[in-house]
């Protein structure tokens, strides 16, 4: 093993690249040939063909060597079945590894952490594999050159690794490296104290330390709470008053900070979505959310999109922000509610939809609320997502009509999808042939929308099945029929 130096003059440990690849090919390729593996008895140990020294390496290095030898997946699985030593190395690797996946735009990058080393494969269009390569896809696990890794965070084409020599980052966007360039190999983030955790939004990166939180990225609305609205912060800066913040949440230009004494907010407040009771358009510092005194420190979750916020404390829910098309679930003469106001029903879960591709944040916005064993919805109904009734908008919470027992609900701009107990997904809303199964009867499509629940394509079902719970995907603890 040799020492090496990256662009920031930080040493890291890497495999000795002075060793030529030819000997690896010479050792492995004859061994992995299908002709040879067929001749090996299942009880035979093939140490005579593969140097015992290879098996003294950690299992993850054995995997990396196999990758360098360009062994196909089928041949590798055959070898695992035939070779006692490789089987043991493979099993140890599978049991000890920790896998991280960043999925963006239906493409994913997978990085495995094993024995302090990282190995990446998959989508590399933004350099997120971190191996210094410009190729768009990495097809087998490749080692990332880093000091021993302790922890990993990822999201939005960004990867951060906490190592024994500090925090490193690679990928694209809001990396805190002093520029906005794409980085296809790790560089050290200039934070001099230990980073305890990393929180990532679509345009910001926030770092918790013993001295408080630091942030970088888009700050157009003051959402980094740094006391100003400088458009882009490229190097992590300390957030004033964040030493008591235990965790952060938010996105779409708003940040919420949880403390023992109550909830704080910063960022875009044009529609009152910060809930601080102020008419200021931007809130550039952490400011208390104007919740009733008895719930200030009890808020467990905040769901927020581009213009509306839902603050959940136990089964009580307070709303603030834009009430366009009644999406806050309460009738009001005011289009904007700046001070959080309590809904009249117990709330167990909330999901809302938001898509920046539309002209207005108010286009086709819908809210779905679970109250016990009932699903309620409100908001824009032009595409009949909420109700088949010819009603443009639902300004109060309405029982959602369902096609049967439902276990998941997903809302997106123009669509609502639900999964039934048999695993099938159906949806309604804006008609698009790439989302829904072919409908031969033209009269089932009214204008641009489907009036009833319709099966989705296999491709969309696969994407929906792979999604985890989020602000627009609700997992139900038990099937709900709304009967």
Instruction: Compute the average pLDDT of residues 282-289.
Output: 96
**If you average pLDDT over every residue of the chain, what do you get?**
82
Residue 274, pLDDT score:
96
In tens, the pLDDT along 206-236 reads 999 999 999 999 999 999 999 998 889 999 9
Continuous segment of H or E residues that includes residue 465:
helix 458-466
User: Are 455 and 426 in contact, with CB atoms under 8 Å apart?
Assistant: yes
How many helices, marked H, and strands, marked E, lie in the chain?
A: 6, 31
In tens, the pLDDT along 319-367 reads 999 988 888 998 888 889 999 999 999 999 999 986 443 334 446 789 9
Residues 6+ apart with CB under 8 A from 356: 252, 306
Residue appearing with tokens 């969309």:
460
Q: Where are the domains of the chain?
A: 2-190
> pTM (2 decimals)?
0.78
Residue 386, pLDDT score:
85
In tens, the pLDDT along 128-159 reads 999 999 999 998 888 899 999 999 999 999 99
Q: What angle do CA 157, 162, 163 make, to 5 degrees?
A: 125
Give me 473's structure tokens: 């995907």
In tens, the pLDDT along 364-401 reads 789 999 999 999 999 988 888 888 778 888 889 999 98
In eight-state DSSP terms, residue 29 is H
Long-range contact set of residues 13-22: C-beta below 8 Å, sequence gap at least 24: 13/145, 13/146, 13/147, 13/148, 14/143, 14/145, 15/61, 15/64, 15/143, 21/68
């Amino acid at each position: 093993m040799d020492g090496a130096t990256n662009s920031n003059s930080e040493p890291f440990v890497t495999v000795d690249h002075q060793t030529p690849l030819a000997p690896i090919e010479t050792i492995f390729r004859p061994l992995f040939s299908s002709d040879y593996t067929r001749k090996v008895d299942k009880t035979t140990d093939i140490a005579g063909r593969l140097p015992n020294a290879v098996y003294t390496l950690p299992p993850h290095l054995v995997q990396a060597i196999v990758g360098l030898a360009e062994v196909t997946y089928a041949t590798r699985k055959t070898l695992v079945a035939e070779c006692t030593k490789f089987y043991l190395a493979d099993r140890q690797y599978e049991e000890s590894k920790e896998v991280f996946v960043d999925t963006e735009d239906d493409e994913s990058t997978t990085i495995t952490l094993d024995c302090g080393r990282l190995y990446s494969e998959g989508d590399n269009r933004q350099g997120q594999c971190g191996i210094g390569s410009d190729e768009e896809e990495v097809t087998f696990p490749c080692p990332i050159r880093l000091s021993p890794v302790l922890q990993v965070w990822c999201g939005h084409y960004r990867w951060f690794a906490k190592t024994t020599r500090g925090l490193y980052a690679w990928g694209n966007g809001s990396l805190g490296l002093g520029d906005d360039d794409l980085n296809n190999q790790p560089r050290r983030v200039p934070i001099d104290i230990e980073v305890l955790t990393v929180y990532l939004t679509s345009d910001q990166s926030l770092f918790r330390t013993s001295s408080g939180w630091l942030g970088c990225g888009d700050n157009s609305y003051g959402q980094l709470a740094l006391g100003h609205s400088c458009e882009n912060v490229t190097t992590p800066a300390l957030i004033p008053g964040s030493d008591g913040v235990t965790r952060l949440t938010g996105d779409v230009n708003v940040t919420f900070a949880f403390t023992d004494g109550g909830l704080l907010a910063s960022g875009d407040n044009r529609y009152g979505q910060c809930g601080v009771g102020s008419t200021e358009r931007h809130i550039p510092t952490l400011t208390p959310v104007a919740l009733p005194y008895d719930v200030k420190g009890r808020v467990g979750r905040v769901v927020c999109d581009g213009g509306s916020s839902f603050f959940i404390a136990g089964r009580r829910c307070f709303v603030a922000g834009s009430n366009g098309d009644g999406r806050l679930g309460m009738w009001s003469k005011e289009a904007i509610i700046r001070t959080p106001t309590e809904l009249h029903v117990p709330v167990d879960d909330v999901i809302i939809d938001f898509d920046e591709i539309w002209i207005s944040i108010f286009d086709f916005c819908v809210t779905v609320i679970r109250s016990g064993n009932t699903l309620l919805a409100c908001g824009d109904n032009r595409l009949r997502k909420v109700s088949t009734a010819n009603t443009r908008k639902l300004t109060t919470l309405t029982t959602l009509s369902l096609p049967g027992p439902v276990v998941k609900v997903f809302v997106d701009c123009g669509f609502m999808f639900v999964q039934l107990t048999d695993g099938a997904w159906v949806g309604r809303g804006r008609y698009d042939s790439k989302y829904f199964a072919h409908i031969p009867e033209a009269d089932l499509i009214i204008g641009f929308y489907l009036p009833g629940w319709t099966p989705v394509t296999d491709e969309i079902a696969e994407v929906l099945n792979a999604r985890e719970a989020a602000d627009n995907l609700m997992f139900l603890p038990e099937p709900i029929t709304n009967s």
